[in-house]
Amino acid sequence: MTQRTPPTIRFYTSNEGKVREVRELLEGRGYRVAWSRRELTEPQADDLEEVARAKLAAVPRGKDLALVEDSGIFVAALGGFPGVYSAYVLRTLGLPGILRLVDGKPRAAEFRAVVGLRDGTRTRFFHGAVKGTLAPRPRGSGGFGYDPIFIPDGKTQTTAEMTSAEKNALSHRGKALRGLARYLAPPGRVSRSA
């Protein structure tokens, strides 16, 4: 009896932390996640799905399912900034700079993610969001990016203080990826009724 090879989803990103999360969420569901380490050019856009769409258009076509992701943190008191520019702002200002921007202001924030999938000529997008607040100072050593300053609603820990399983259970990316997993079920066959 031959063992069936799991279908491959090729994830295009330069972010190793995102690769770990995608593997944790999809490999247990019967898929193999292959990492194509690539810095994809992002258009100047106000919408995460528009950025994900441009990323998906930039990756090569092949036999594997192609996966891209774009996410950002949207701070209400800053008019939704940094939003789609979250990665650039984090590299430029760092977490201390972001916290200075909200000093004395309401700290409500929302993490949003869009996951884009291409299967042949078909593309689909899956969205996820989680509301929370910005911590007064960075806490925790897990996760990456804004995790040390983001506290999801109903929790007291930052996402950097949570285990990866706890974070994935409630995160914006986790929600988007669970939508993707439902669309792909059963493993290896895209559900055309979704």
Catalytic center residues:
70
Take residue 143 and report the two structure tokens written for it: 């996760």
> Hey, which residues does 10 pair with through a beta bridge?
34, 66
Is 34 strand, coil or helix? strand
Dist. CA 118–CA 55, nearest whole Å: 11
Take residue 74 and report the two structure tokens written for it: 């949207």
Is 66 strand, coil or helix? strand
Closest CA to 88 of 44, 120, 127, 31: 44
Q: Annotate 71-101 with DSSP letters as a single string.
A: EEEEEGGGTT-BGGGHHHHHHHHHHHHHHHH
Take residue 171 and report the two structure tokens written for it: 């995160």
Take residue 93 and report the two structure tokens written for it: 């200002």
In this structure, the chain runs to a length of: 194
